[in-house]
A and B are shown apart, each in its own frame.
Chain A
Amino acid sequence: MKILVPVKRVVDFNVKVRVKADQTGVELANVKMSMNPFDEIAVEEALKLKEAGKATEVIAVSAGITACQETLRTALAMGADRAILVETDVELQPLAVAKLLKALVAKEGAGMVILGKQAIDDDANQTGQMLAALLDWPQGTFASKVEIDGSVARVTREIDGGLETVEIKLPAVVTTDLRLNTPRYATLPNIMKAKKKPLDVVKPDALGVDVAPRLKTLKVAEPGKRKAGVMVKDVDELVGKLKNEAKVL
């Protein structure tokens, strides 16, 4: 079984993003970019499945500008076998990405897609579910445990109020939550080896997919600031303030 692992290039999670003065977006110039952390977890899970003999090949894919090749090289350095970039300068939204991935799943004959539950830039939490729907595959989202057993996968999911386990028929889409695993680091020898691994580049047209955006961003603004609070010296003062000033007790 081939596993397709979509990975997204995003602003590094340690960077404090700044909104551009003209409110057209957030500042991306000279900002450190990395693989979306949930996608790192997806790469790790796919590699584990391959190491356990449940998968034959792990193919990392990304969609976007030329620089996404760096993100794919990271996936290759972690251990993915090869990579595909769908290259475009168009702003890609989740529906367009799901359509591109559907075309790649068909082209590669993949039996499973594992990807992050959301990207930490647009926080959409859509692509995996959309892909599953377009393929008419079942889905196991927000996974904290994945077991492959013959023709089914058992996925433990993080839900409001606890956990649930679903059994889904393969082929299927799985989206990862934080506690699924701890991604491995790419070692220096593997980073060197990754440079020689195959990385194909295709265009959306070649896959027959229209990637035009369906959402138009009118404005991006800073969040409202909270007014400065006060420090209290002891519990008595705190209780007094909560009762008489904030009136929440």
Chain B
Amino acid sequence: MTALVIAEHDNAHVRGGTANAVTAALKMGGEVHILVAGQGARAAADAAAKLAGVAKVLHAEGAHLASGSPENLAALVVPLAATYSHIVASATAFGKNFMPRVAALLDVAQVSEIVGVDSPDTFVRPIYAGNAFATVQALDKVKVITVRATGFDAAPATGSAPVESLAPGADKAQSKLLSQELTKSARPELAGARRIVSGGRGLGSGENFKMLETLADKLGAAIGASRAAVDSGYCPNDYQVGQTGKIVAPELYVAIGISGAIQHLAGMKDSKVIVAINKDPEAPIFQVADYGLVGDLFQIVPELTAKI
């Protein structure tokens, strides 16, 4: 029994919860291999080889694998499946995009966004935006699984596995990447951040939203937002924390001017310590907060920034 984890990477590093997916794969009971597919991705393959518990890295190089094309990636993974019991990736925009293609081409079900491994074929996953948790048994021979990073610790970089080359397969030439507009930031990546400062509609404007930056910088935190703040145009949409945005579970989550809609809570309620600052004492965010402070955020945030 061996699991194959498909790595998300930026050529230099493995990212996007891949190290957490390795931990989940190790719980499935057998050896764990990692596939790193890309163009100029040798450094990422070497980084994957350091993840504790990984027995082997498969490294495929090709221009047609550079942009994470789901058509090409699925075509590369499917022939490998004959020798694996589990195909695993993190449940990010990357993993969610190509993994169901792999499952369909293998004629097997996919188990999406697992947060627990009960046995090699039985997994726990949230449904209804995290308002219920289903325990499901996969009846197919090969299990195709995406992993919610917050459900598993990241595997530490203490290993050293061999890296083998893998033939890159053919270019299906069905799609091409035209452009990417990535939000530039010197702050930690939201999905894996240890601390997050998150703003909602209570901030009132994009100009006011910027006041979170000083606090975030002082805390070394990433900045997040509620859907209401994103929809109001206060910040880019990739800041969004919630069921349809990012699912986060930092050590400290500071919710500022966020009322706490169900879909926002679904994205952050597994955080270790939650602080809520809101002028409305009835806001639902206070029901999940460890520490609540009712008051005017325009006074509280500068004071908090000064005092920590």
Contacts and interface: CB of A to CB of B under 8 A. Distances in A.
Interface stretch (B79-87, B206-214, B269-277): B269-277
A122 B17 CA distance: 22
B190 to A, nearest CB: 8
A216 interface: yes
B136 A164 contact: no
Chain B interface residue number, banded: 35 or more
Size band of the interface chain A makes with B: 35 or more
A206 interface: no
Interface string B86-126: 00000011101111111111011111110000000010001
B232 interface: no
Interface string A113-125: 0000000111111
B153 interface: no
A160 B94 contact: yes
B127 A178 contact: no
Nearest to A140: B175
- Residue in B70, B131, B175, B177 with the greatest tally of chain A CB atoms within 10 Å: B175
B292 A221 contact: no
Interface string A1-39: 000000000010000110100000010000000000000
B100 A239 contact: no
B128 A132 contact: no
Contact of A220 (B103, B109, B127, B244): B127
Nearest to B231: A179
A95 B132 contact: no
A74 interface: no
A149 to B, nearest CB: 12
A164 B181 contact: yes
Interface string A124-164: 11111111111001111110100000000010011111111
A35 B116 CA distance: 30
A188 interface: no
Interface string B256-276: 000000100000010011110
Contacts of A166: 67, 175-178
Contacts of B111: 215
Interface stretch (B33-41, B43-51, B282-290): B282-290
A51 B74 CA distance: 35
A238 B304 contact: yes
Given A124-B112, A168-B175, A223 B100 contact: no
14 contacts: A124-B110, A125-B113, A126-B112, A133-B104, A138-B172, A141-B97, A163-B180, A165-B180, A167-B176, A219-B135, A221-B132, A223-B131, A238-B291, A242-B308
Interface of A: 11, 16-17, 19, 26, 93-95, 98, 120-134, 137-142, 144, 154, 157-169, 177-179, 213-223, 226, 229-236, 238-239, 241-242, 246, 248-249
